[in-house]
Amino acid sequence: MTQAYFAALTAQAPTVGLPFHRLANDPGTTSAHHIMPVLLPPGSDRDAIAGFLSEAGIQTTMHYPPAHRMTFYRSFLPEQDLPVTDAFARRQITLPLHPGLSEADVAHVARTLADALTHVARGG
């Protein structure tokens, strides 16, 4: 189903980054295809976009929290500053991916994400 996501997101939401797209198309690699993380465009309000998707019945998560912000690492490196990691984390959102998804479901998620990006960018 990840290939369907890549195609739908490329068509519907071309400003969304697809971190694993290249790896998924490499014939020398395999993937469990167990998550569908995407990278929102710079300046996106992830929480507002997640809220828009939630209102449309689409659950999202933030799969990659910055490890240096976790309590364990903070106890060892309290002053650690990783601005690129933090910037990535502010833009990363994980879309639904499970065996029960159909291509129509994936197209709906991609279309709704595109609508969310437009709606939130307008301040809605």
pLDDT band at 16; cut points 50, 70, 90: very high
**Residue 103: what pLDDT?**
94
Predicted TM-score of the model (pTM) = 0.86
Residue 24 in this model has a pLDDT that exceeds 60: no
Number of domains in the chain: 1
Instruction: Give yes or no for residue 31 having a pLDDT over 80.
Output: no
Residue 39 belongs to domain spanning: 2-79+86-121
Q: Give residue-wise pLDDT tens across range 61-117.
A: 998 788 888 888 888 888 888 999 999 999 999 999 988 899 999 999 999 999 999
Distance between CA atoms of residues 36 and 86, nearest Å = 19
Which domain CATH number covers 71? 3.90.1150.10
